[in-house]
Structure 1
């Protein structure tokens, strides 16, 4: 990952699974958890996104909006969100140009065409409050993520 705590990430303009374009300015006054996962429709990625959806109220109570991000196209994200029954979590597409946002952050895995599994907690100005890079096969510990969310709320 290119950026460290205290540094600002580049702004983003990514479509979510409903087709809405989101950027930092849409979250004025809130923290954002950018939860990168390699690919929709895979077991660990499903569990990672379900943990965010299941704890959405805790995020909300701590002035934080969780966002799931991968290189999957919007239609795939939409179908996946529907299959999983998500009511709150927004799933963002970094599909085209393929993996541009992940590349800007230094977490795109060129050989595989996917992002790494990474959580990045930022404020509404894009300043990193906390981040962690995981092994591609490891499920992020939601308790650890929520601890950081609460500590930075």
Structure 2
């Protein structure tokens, strides 16, 4: 694995399609904090719980001026079907499918051997700088309360 992007670095911009097929660009959120919540693969239990915790806490993220995004290397149709299955209504779930894992690679979060991203949370401040990163064990559910504390 490469090293994750450094705290204080400028977050690489990206343009990805979300689970609904809409373009999501990091530059669209200048002036707000952004949480990039990376999950390795859709349709797996821990990843499902991770995305559901973002959805459940969406109003709290909004109150903290934060846009939560659920990123993975899964294709748009798969992410769309999965989001519907999980009843995700608010969270945008960008697809880093093609070029395969390009954004995860830019953030130093791509696992070459497995072909998917780390499970990680990256917080970007209002000026586009990385202010917090945590990489989790692949089977560990990120603690949403810890993320919210970092945003306060």
TM bin, normalised by shorter chain, reads over 0.9
Aligned mate of 1:17, from 19, 26, 33: 19
Aligned mate of 2:95, from 86, 90, 93: 93
Deviations 1:127-153 (A, max 9, x none): 011110111111101110110112xxx
Instruction: Say whether the 8 Å CA contact 1:99–1:115 is kept in structure 2.
Output: yes
Q: What is the number of residues matched between the two proteins?
A: 150
Please tell me the root mean square deviation across aligned C-alpha atoms, in Å: 1.0
> Could you list the runs of 5+ residues in structure 1 that have no partner in the other structure?
none
**Take 1:142 and 1:52, find their aligned partners in 2: how far apart are those partners?**
7
> Could you list the runs of 5+ residues in structure 2 that have no partner in the other structure?
none
Deviations 1:46-79 (A, max 9, x none): 0000000000000000000100000000000100
Alignment of 1:45-64 (within 5 A): 45-64=47-66
Alignment of 1:19-34 (within 5 A): 19-34=21-36
Instruction: Say whether the 8 Å CA contact 2:72–2:117 is kept in structure 1.
Output: yes
TM-score of the superposition, structure 2-length normalised? 0.95
Instruction: Say whether the 8 Å CA contact 2:30–2:128 is kept in structure 1.
Output: no
Instruction: Say whether the 8 Å CA contact 1:24–1:125 is kept in structure 2.
Output: no
**Correspondence for 1:73:** 75
Deviations 1:116-137 (A, max 9, x none): 0010000244201111011111
